[in-house]
Structure 1
Amino acid sequence: MSGPECCKNPPVVSSGDQCGQVEQIASLSSYVSGNSDLKTAVILVSDVYGYGAPKLRKFADKVASAGYYVVVPDLLHGDPATSETNLQDWVVNHRPEQTVEYVKPVIQALKKKGMSKIGAAGFCWGAKAVVELAKEADIIQVSALLHPSFVTLDDIKGVKVSIAILGGELDIYSPPALINEFEAALDAKPEVDHFVKIYPGMSHGWAIRYNDDDAAEVKCAEEACQDVVDWFSRYLKRNHSAL
């Protein structure tokens, strides 16, 4: 995961058109969006740019509008990467596989709030934390990885929770060949429902770092968000009278 490509098109400053707000959840600052009285929640785990990235928050708002309480925790503890960051040094202090231990208290806090069903989606760096959660059968009900980094074939073989994997045709960190290997491993696990999709012409980070002036990127980003909503709805809204 080299700096130049992963830090391509860093997030811009927010325009202030967000629907949610920042709250403390399990000691972490978190962007939250949606109705906290709902019984279903979705946790979004950011890429290296952290929970403040405007398009990640826009993604969160869209998911919330589908009927979920969405939480984007600051799992980087105020130290997101920038376009000048040396990621090889940065990741030493932000190992994604360790991040799962920060996510679990957030999940417990949501359960205490009455959330009975919880899904998690991770982007790039954050996909590794989500796949670690998906290796345990009783933490979350459904998962999704979008343009994942650090995720290995062995990780996928260990998944116990229904999972969606969304990749880009031009992504050098999770290229189609690797995504196809992931899919083959999941095909060999009939007990784990899965959805795999490769978006044509998309590079790494496209789901939340798309170019607003590129109609194809905008379309694929919107499609990815809807695909996540549809996938989660199969597990979080099933037989749930509150929704």
Structure 2
Amino acid sequence: MPFSELKIKTADGEAGAWLFRPDTRPETLKTGVIVYMDAFGLRPAMSEIGEILANAGYVTLIPDLFYRNAPYGPFDAKTAFKNEDTAKELRGIMSGTTQAMTISDTAAFLQTLEGEGVTRVGAVGYCMGGPRALNAAAHCPDRIVAAASFHGGNLASDAEDSPHKAANKIKGRVYVGSAGVDKSFPPEQSAKLALALREAEVDHIIENYVGMQHGWAVSDHDIYDPQGAQRAWTRMLTLFNETLDTDASAS
């Protein structure tokens, strides 16, 4: 599926992005999804995600969260952290791209979808994008009605910008698919996130993918698991179908 390459004006510059438009969809169904990428940037594996969501009927935006460091990479998901030089570069870019930056950028991402006629938005993030999707839902609660995280790390850490600390701002539904083997989201964080979401009365599911490792749902990771990925897609599309594809989305 062809996609449009965009430059989105933000408070800090211009973010490159890919926009996928569904081939056919009802005129009344004005729904869209923001995909918060993993650490390896825009590449064919992210394009696959955009295509699946667009084929499901959603205008899909995949922004480059690392645009402040462009040009960078390219990074190979299988080897980037195994090579000392690329690992150092990548960790520097990741640590320098704060949650606050992505929260600020999300306003511009939402405006881009508005330009496409989108009135109801979902968010999904992978790995480092997982907490960003949840924080987006917390800081744009009237715009983002559903958020999903797959093998997201540090969803309930001690950091001030940890998503669980903003749970009381979330109005939409939340789905978290956690890797069964993931040092970045251990059981104690899962319990802390569950408590925060429940106390905030957020409609949510946290599901443990037993035996899956961090990165299992993205096709170019060396621990990609097709069955686990299909299960993740089933959960995500059900979430968006139940929250975005409603009579309330017509306008």
TM-score exceeds 0.5: yes
Mapped to 2, the partners of 1:21 and 1:185 lie a distance apart of: 38
Question: Which residue of structure 1 lines up, in the alignment, with residue 83 of structure 2?
Answer: none
Alpha carbons 2:138, 2:166 under 8 Å: kept: yes
SS of 1:141's equivalent in the other structure is: strand
From 131, 143, 149, the equivalent of 2:153 is: 149
Question: Which residue of structure 2 lines up, in the alignment, with residue 193 of structure 1?
Answer: 203
Please tell me whether residue 181 in structure 1 is matched to residue 192 in structure 2.
yes
Question: Which residue of structure 1 lines up, in the alignment, with residue 95 of structure 2?
Answer: 92
Q: Deviations over 1:171-207 (max 9, x none)?
A: 11112342233123222232x1112111111111111
Alpha carbons 2:156, 2:192 under 8 Å: kept: no
Please tell me whether residue 120 in structure 1 is matched to residue 123 in structure 2.
yes
SS of 2:62's equivalent in the other structure is: strand
Mapped to 2, the partners of 1:241 and 1:45 lie a distance apart of: 22
Deviation larger for 138-147 or 153-162: 153-162
Alpha carbons 1:48, 1:81 under 8 Å: kept: no
SS of 1:70's equivalent in the other structure is: strand
Change (3 A) 1:223 1:117: same
What is the TM-score of this pair, normalised by structure 2?
0.78
Alpha carbons 1:127, 1:149 under 8 Å: kept: yes
What is the TM-score of this pair, normalised by structure 1?
0.80
Q: Deviations over 1:3-49 (max 9, x none)?
A: xxxxxxxxxxxxxxxx2324215243222223286510001010111
SS of 1:202's equivalent in the other structure is: strand
Mapped to 2, the partners of 1:88 and 1:223 lie a distance apart of: 30
Alpha carbons 1:46, 1:126 under 8 Å: kept: yes
Gaps of 5+ in 1: 1-18
Please tell me whether residue 238 in structure 1 is matched to residue 240 in structure 2.
no
Mapped to 2, the partners of 1:69 and 1:209 lie a distance apart of: 21
Deviation larger for 193-202 or 58-67: 58-67
Change (3 A) 1:211 1:47: closer
Structure number with higher strand proportion: 2
Q: What is the letter of the counterpart of residue 20 of structure 1?
A: P
Q: Deviations over 1:114-148 (max 9, x none)?
A: 11101111111112322221213223111111111
State the shift of 1:229 in Å: 1.0
Q: What is the letter of the counterpart of residue 203 of structure 2?
A: D
Alpha carbons 1:98, 1:129 under 8 Å: kept: no
State the shift of 1:237 in Å: 0.6
SS of 2:96's equivalent in the other structure is: coil
Please tell me whether residue 24 in structure 1 is matched to residue 6 in structure 2.
yes
Deviation larger for 86-95 or 60-69: 86-95
Q: Deviations over 1:131-174 (max 9, x none)?
A: 22121322311111111123325522422132111101011111
Q: Percent identity?
A: 24
User: What's the C-alpha RMSD, in Å, of the aligned pairs?
Assistant: 2.6
SS of 1:31's equivalent in the other structure is: strand
Question: Which residue of structure 2 lines up, in the alignment, with residue 12 of structure 1?
Answer: none
Alpha carbons 1:96, 1:126 under 8 Å: kept: no
SS of 2:211's equivalent in the other structure is: coil
Q: What is the letter of the counterpart of residue 229 of structure 1?
A: L
Question: Which residue of structure 2 lines up, in the alignment, with residue 34 of structure 1?
Answer: 21
Question: Which residue of structure 2 lines up, in the alignment, with residue 229 of structure 1?
Answer: 237
Mapped to 2, the partners of 1:202 and 1:227 lie a distance apart of: 16
Please tell me whether residue 133 in structure 1 is matched to residue 160 in structure 2.
no
